[in-house]
Amino acid sequence: MPSTIYTPEIASAYGALDSDAASDGSAATAHLLRAAARSMHRLLAKPEPVLSALYDTRVPDSEGRAMSGPALPWWTIVDTYPVNAMRGRTSIDVRITLRVPVGTDLRLQVCTRAQVFVLNPPVGSYKTAAATGTWETVEYDGLLIDSSGVDEVTIYVSASAGATLGSTATYGTPNTGTVRSVSGERMVPDATPSWVVTTGNTWAMRHLLVFLSGSALLTTPRLITGVYPDSMRFAPAASAGEGALLAGSTYEIRTLPLWRLAAVTAWTSLRTAL
What pLDDT score was predicted for residue 103? 87
Q: Does 185 lie in the same domain as 151?
A: no
What pLDDT score was predicted for residue 168? 93
Residues above pLDDT 90, as percent of the chain: 57
Residue 132 in contact with residue 102, Cβ under 8 Å?
Answer: yes
Q: Does 133 lie in the same domain as 22?
A: no
68 or 131, which is more confident: 131
What pLDDT score was predicted for residue 46? 79
The verdict on residue 226 lying in a domain is yes
What pLDDT score was predicted for residue 18? 54
Q: Does 144 lie in the same domain as 74?
A: yes
**pLDDT, average across residues 162-173:** 90
Q: Does 178 lie in the same domain as 152?
A: no
Q: Does 184 lie in the same domain as 143?
A: no
The verdict on residue 273 lying in a domain is no
Residues 6+ apart with CB under 8 A from 179: 187, 188, 189, 190, 211, 246, 247, 248, 249, 250, 251
State the amino acid at position 70 in one-letter form.
Answer: P
What pLDDT score was predicted for residue 202? 62
What pLDDT score was predicted for residue 25? 57
**pLDDT, average across residues 40-44:** 71
What pLDDT score was predicted for residue 23? 60
Number of domains forming the structure of the chain: 3
- Domain with 177 in it: 168-254
Q: Does 213 lie in the same domain as 240?
A: yes
Q: Does 129 lie in the same domain as 4?
A: no
**pLDDT, average across residues 224-237:** 92
The verdict on residue 225 lying in a domain is yes
Mean per-residue pLDDT of the chain? 85
Q: Does 145 lie in the same domain as 33?
A: no
CATH number, domain of 154, equals 2.60.120.260
Q: Does 119 lie in the same domain as 65?
A: yes
The verdict on residue 274 lying in a domain is no
156 or 89, which is more confident: 156
The C-alpha atoms of residue 62 and residue 200 are separated, in whole angstroms, by: 17
